Amino acid sequence: MGTDPMTDFSISLEMNPKSNDVDEILQLPEKIAQKKGCNIVVCIDEFQQIAEFKDSKTFQKRLRTVWQLQKSVSYCLFGSKKLPKLLIIIALDWR
């Protein structure tokens, strides 16, 4: 791992979720961290694209609700454009 784009990698957990429940999916990093007894950092690039989701503000609020309770996961949000105002509020009111 490093800052060189030539060293980027991806990970596949080869999981088949039993449902598409949003909360269950958002809790997955925390569940993995708890099961493995470690901390996880999730990095999301081009995060500003969340503004293009259907009912984006509701989804942003859902992210905050779930993420703020996670003890073993930290999130790094990256984007090439200005992040929506709500996401800045999420970062300032994180813990």
Q: Is residue 6 part of a domain?
A: no
Query: What is the per-residue pLDDT for 45?
Result: 87
Q: Is residue 5 part of a domain?
A: no
CB within 8 Å of 27: residues ≥ 6 apart? 66, 70
Predicted confidence (pLDDT) per residue in 31-50, tens digit: 999 999 999 999 888 888 88
Q: What is the pTM of this model?
A: 0.64
Q: Is residue 18 part of a domain?
A: no
Predicted confidence (pLDDT) per residue in 45-69, tens digit: 888 888 888 888 898 889 989 999 9
3-state secondary structure 14-41: CCCCCCCCHHHHHCHHHHHHHHHCCCEE
What distance in Å separates the CA atoms of residue 49 and residue 64, rounded to the nearest whole number?
16
Structural domain boundaries, residue 32: 23-92
Q: Is residue 53 part of a domain?
A: yes
Mean pLDDT of 68-85: 80
Q: Is residue 68 part of a domain?
A: yes
